[in-house]
Amino acid sequence: MDEELKLLKRLEEMRERHRILDEQIKTLERSPLNQLLVMRLKREKLTLRDLMGQLEREIYPDIIA
């Protein structure tokens, strides 16, 4: 149970970082000078989303009946 709480905490931290990245991207997209930074942040956000999916599957595994 302690391990599950750690995983849930990590997942929540990832979700918060994902939200922050989304806000940064929206702000930076307003300026054409920031396109390289926007691309890097989008790549980081996508990687984070993939990691969150893996963690969610570890916490809540599919149980086939």
CA distance 49 to 53: 6
Sign of CA dihedral 16, 19, 20, 21: positive
Q: What is the pTM of this model?
A: 0.78
Here the tokens at position 4 are 């599950």
Does 23 map to a domain? yes
Count structural domains, the chain. Answer: 1
Q: Is the separation of the CB atoms in 30 and 57 below 8 Å?
A: no
Residue 65 has pLDDT above 70, yes or no: no
Domain of residue 12: give its range.
Answer: 2-59
20 within domain boundaries: yes
Q: What length is written for the chain?
A: 65
Residue 1 confidence (pLDDT): 67
> What digits encode the pLDDT tens for the residues 6-21?
999 999 999 999 999 9
Question: Residues of the chain with pLDDT > 70: what percent?
Answer: 97
Q: Is residue 65 part of a domain?
A: no
Structure tokens given for 33: 């000078």
Query: What CA–CA distance (Å, rounded) separates 61 from 29?
Result: 37
